[in-house]
């Protein structure tokens, strides 16, 4: 079950194919990313083989078994074994030991998460994160999606409306006015990350912004209809 591809530095690894891990594999694969997916359950592995050629049954999560799948070549590995705390911690430790640059681990409690953080992993709390996501969508009708980073920083996708319509990126000058940055503009199903400062926003446009969450909140409150 050796990974055939040598240049896999852009690949993702997903360990544990429960509902969270399986959904993650499908989402990454549908976005055109290559994913190494492993689980001890053959049926779960078989399910994701429709999305990735690198889906392996691994009975024992040892360092040797992880290396055999090519997990050490991934740029990011997500450990989705939240319910089995001891296995989650051990697997996270092994992945970090392999030298993977970005390791994310699913946690089911604050104590579990704190242990994972101390090991050097980025911690995700799927149920709590989903609750926050739904809450934000209820509060801001224009919020399409968001990713919470460390230190109160977020990336948000926001539907254009209100005072933004017809105005250019240069006119809005959100970096100066709000301390946030527009990092992408989506229009007509296409995403542009090299947009011009004189681009004017229209109906149906979407932007991705990054910044401190309270600054993005203020921007949305000022610019968009309630």
Average pLDDT for residues 217-222, to the nearest whole number?
A: 87
pLDDT band for position 146 (cuts 50, 70, 90): low
Residue with the bigger pLDDT between 190 and 98: it is: 98
Asked if the model's pLDDT at residue 226 lies above 70, the reply is no
At 35-47, the pLDDT tens digits run: 999 999 999 999 9
Between the CA atoms of 132, 31, 123 and 9, what dihedral angle is there, to the nearest 10 degrees?
-160
In the prediction, which pLDDT does 5 show? Answer: 43
Mean pLDDT, the chain, integer = 86
DSSP string, 139-155: H-TTEEEEEE-GGGEEE
Domains and CATH numbers, the chain: 12-124 (3.40.50.720), 129-223 (3.30.70.1450)
| Contact predicate 169/182, CB 8 Å | yes
């Amino acid at each position: 079950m050796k990974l055939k591809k040598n240049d896999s530095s852009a690949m993702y690894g997903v360990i544990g194919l429960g509902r969270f891990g399986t959904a993650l594999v499908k989402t990454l694969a549908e976005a055109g990313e290559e994913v190494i997916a492993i689980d001890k359950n053959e049926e779960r592995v078989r399910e994701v083989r429709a999305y990735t050629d690198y889906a392996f049954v691994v009975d024992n999560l040892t360092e040797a078994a992880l290396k055999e799948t090519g997990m050490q070549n991934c740029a990011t590995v997500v450990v989705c074994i939240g319910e089995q705390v001891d296995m989650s911690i051990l697997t996270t430790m092994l992945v970090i030991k392999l030298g993977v640059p970005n390791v994310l681990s699913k946690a089911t409690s604050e104590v579990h998460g704190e242990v994972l953080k101390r090991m050097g992993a980025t911690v995700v709390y799927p149920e709590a994160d989903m609750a926050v996501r739904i809450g934000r969508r209820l509060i801001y009708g224009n919020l399409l999606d968001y990713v919470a980073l460390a230190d109160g920083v977020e990336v948000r996708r926001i539907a254009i409306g209100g005072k933004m319509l017809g105005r250019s990126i240069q006119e809005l000058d959100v970096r100066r006015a709000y301390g946030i940055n527009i990092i992408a503009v989506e229009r007509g199903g296409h995403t542009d990350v090299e947009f011009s400062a004189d681009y004017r926003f229209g109906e149906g446009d979407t932007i991705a912004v990054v910044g401190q969450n309270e600054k993005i909140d203020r921007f949305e409150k000022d610019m968009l209809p309630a």
